[in-house]
């Protein structure tokens, strides 16, 4: 029987009873009738004046760069559809007024030609240093020469700096701002001696990622990765001392739970903050069944809170707000540079875990909201939200039989949403994709993300917004202003 529009509205209202509208406060479109002319519109009136304000250029006092690891367009759409409905909005990610796409390819180390599918190390090195490199490289070029990062340049320019993640702080995305090694897995002295011998302290190198992090000395570093700090230095001033003891000796304020982080009132070069909230990566906020060979016949499910999340583990939004509060010193003329990563969108996409990856996207969105709230109040902060690469999850017709893996969820619209993965079998790791990904901006110089750019363009946008000098000491730099070698 054909239902009238009034009937549909009543039906939608009934469907939302019982907690199905899990985020109605942020998703005003959830539960509305979308069948009429213009019902699905996202804009009303002319936005020219609002956009004009965003393209005035200038410089920024602060930059907050938020990275959704593996957060391609499909992953964003999945999170929006599930949490807020098809006509809803992610209140952080979707709120940035200027958007574009950027290319993500890496380089073949043997010949310097494009490697079309990047990993997090090469992609992160691209935006951190402005230099394309090979998969696995942490802020070195294809010849292994170190490239100065935005965080290093910001610190050299007198700015305060921060590096926040839900992964191990030695993982690729946070590492590209603080270290330079030939292979991304060189977290600690033992792995560096084995996989990056030229970088090892005992061989005259700068040391493991953890050791270099301690030397780079951001004002605020928050994440997981405590296990690597239990290893001892093999050479140098702190030979035989654990990296954790070294951190304390060097003046770091070490905190290991959310309550202790909340009590910190100051972070600077005399007493930088080092938050180690997990041995490895953070536990994901949401849980649910993995995608399997269901043949499209599985029962649709809802995601649930992950009961394994420790009470001591802070949320990404909380870490972001705390980092901003510690870095924003109104008594100083200098601002700050802060990188924030929602790391396990990627890690749960690898695992074909749609609830895990959606929950981590929502987690990042809350951090974006915190960053935007500060930026709007401050009036002189550039916020950029992007991803390092695309991933493999796709939205397909409900009930579709695919050669890959599927899982069907029930969304805020009370509708089935089937997620498919097709780059690995059950128990395997789903692959990255070589797609371009979204980059969005708010604040001074945000217009530079519009259109099609490359990851390396983001380095120059941020560098120039903060008026950073990328030339090494005593050098006149390169003709095109590229990130310089140490």
pLDDT in tens, 362-410: 999 999 999 999 999 999 999 999 999 999 999 999 877 888 999 999 9
Output the pLDDT for position 35.
66
pLDDT at 183 exceeding the cut of 50: yes
The answer as to whether 112 is a domain residue is yes
Structural domain contains residue 45:
no
In a domain, residue 295? The reply is yes
Confidence check: pLDDT of 306 > 60 = yes
Number of domains in the chain: 1
Q: Are 198 and 205 in contact (CB under 8 A)?
A: yes
Q: What is the mean pLDDT of residues 53-78?
A: 91
User: Which active-site residues does the annotation give?
Assistant: 120
- Note whether residue 435 is domain-resident: yes
| CATH number of 411's domain | 3.40.720.10
Query: Dihedrals φ, ψ of 433, to 5°?
Result: -125, 160
**Per-residue pLDDT averaged across 171-181, rounded?**
98
17 part of a folded domain: no
Asked whether residue 313 carries a pLDDT value surpassing 80, the answer given is yes
DSSP calls for 329-396: -TTSS--EEEEEEETHHHHHHHTT-HHHHHHHHHHHHHHHHHHHHHHHHHSSEEEEEEES-B-S-EEE
Q: What was the pLDDT predicted at 256?
A: 98
Residues 6 or more apart whose CB falls under 8 angstroms from that of 399 comprise 296, 297, 418
What is the C-alpha separation between 289 and 352, in angstroms, rounded?
9
Which long-range contacts link 425-429 to residues 24+ away (Cβ below 8 Å)? 426/290, 426/292, 426/293, 426/352, 429/350, 429/351
Is there a domain that residue 296 lies in? Answer: yes
Q: Give pLDDT, residue 22.
A: 39
**End-to-end alpha carbon distance in the chain:** 72
Q: What is the pLDDT of residue 32?
A: 72
Q: What is the model's pTM?
A: 0.91
Three-state secondary-structure class, residue 133: coil
What is the structure's pLDDT at 355?
A: 97
The whole-angstrom distance between residue 379's C-alpha and the CA centroid of its chain comes to: 23
| Residue 292 within a domain | yes
pLDDT score for 473: 45
Range of the domain at 435: 58-465
Does 9 fall in a domain? no
Confirm if 164 and 337 have CB atoms less than 8 A apart.
Answer: no
Report the run of H or E that residue 305 belongs to, with start and end.
strand 304-305
**Which value, in Å, is the radius of gyration of the alpha carbons in the chain?**
23
pLDDT given for residue 30 in this prediction: 59
Q: pLDDT tens across 1-46, in order?
A: 455 555 555 554 444 433 333 333 444 455 678 767 777 777 777 7
Distance CA 105, CA 102 (A): 10
Overall average pLDDT of the 304-330 stretch: 96
Mean pLDDT of the chain: 90
Listed in sequence order, the residues at least 6 apart from 257 whose beta carbon sits closer than 8 Å to its beta carbon are 277, 312, 313, 314
């Amino acid at each position: 029987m054909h239902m009238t529009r009034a009937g549909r509205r009543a039906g939608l209202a009934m469907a939302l009873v019982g907690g199905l509208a899990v985020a109605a406060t942020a998703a005003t479109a959830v539960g509305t009738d979308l069948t009429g002319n213009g019902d699905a519109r996202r804009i009303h009136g002319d936005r020219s004046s609002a956009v004009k304000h965003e393209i005035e250029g200038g410089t920024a006092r602060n930059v907050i760069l938020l990275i959704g690891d593996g957060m391609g367009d499909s992953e964003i759409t999945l999170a929006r559809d599930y949490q807020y409905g098809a006509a809803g909005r992610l209140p952080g990610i979707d709120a940035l007024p200027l958007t574009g796409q950027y290319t993500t390819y890496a380089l073949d180390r043997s010949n310097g030609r494009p490697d079309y599918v990047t990993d997090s190390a090469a992609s992160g090195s691209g935006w951190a240093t402005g230099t394309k490199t090979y998969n696995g490289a942490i802020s070195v070029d294809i010849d292994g020469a170190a490239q100065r990062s935005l965080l290093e340049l910001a610190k050299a320019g007198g700015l305060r700096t921060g590096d926040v993640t839900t992964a191990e702080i030695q993982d690729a995305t946070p590492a590209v701002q603080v270290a330079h090694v030939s292979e991304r897995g060189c977290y600690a002295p033992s792995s560096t001696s084995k996989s990056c011998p030229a970088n090892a302290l005992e061989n005259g190198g700068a040391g493991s990622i953890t050791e270099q992090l301690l030397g780079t000395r951001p004002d605020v570093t928050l994440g997981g990765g405590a296990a690597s700090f239990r290893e001892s230095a093999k050479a140098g001033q702190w030979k035989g001392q654990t990296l954790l003891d070294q951190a304390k000796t060097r003046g770091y304020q070490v905190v290991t739970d959310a309550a202790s982080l909340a009590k910190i009132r100051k972070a600077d070069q005399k007493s930088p903050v080092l938050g180690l909230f997990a041995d490895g990566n953070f536990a994901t906020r949401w849980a649910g069944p993995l995608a399997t060979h269901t043949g499209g016949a599985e029962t649709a499910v809802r995601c649930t809170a992950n009961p394994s999340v420790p009470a001591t583990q802070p949320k990404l939004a909380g870490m972001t707000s705390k980092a901003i509060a510690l870095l924003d010193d109104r008594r100083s003329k200098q601002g700050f540079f802060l990188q924030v990563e929602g790391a396990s969108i990627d890690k749960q996409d690898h695992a074909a875990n749609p609830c895990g990856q959606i929950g981590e996207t929502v987690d990042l969105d809350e951090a974006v909201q915190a960053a935007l709230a500060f930026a709007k109040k401050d009036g002189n902060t550039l916020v950029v939200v992007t991803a390092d690469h695309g991933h493999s999850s796709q939205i397909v017709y409900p009930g579709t039989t695919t050669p890959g893996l599927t899982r069907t969820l029930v969304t805020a619209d009370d509708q089935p949403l089937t997620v498919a993965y097709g780059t690995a079998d059950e128990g395997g790791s789903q692959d990255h994709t070589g797609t371009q990904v979204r980059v969005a901006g708010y604040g001074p110089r945000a217009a530079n993300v519009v259109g099609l750019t490359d990851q390396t363009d983001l380095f120059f946008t941020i560098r120039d917004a903060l008026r950073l000098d990328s030339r090494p000491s005593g050098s006149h730099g390169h003709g095109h202003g590229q990130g310089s070698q140490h």
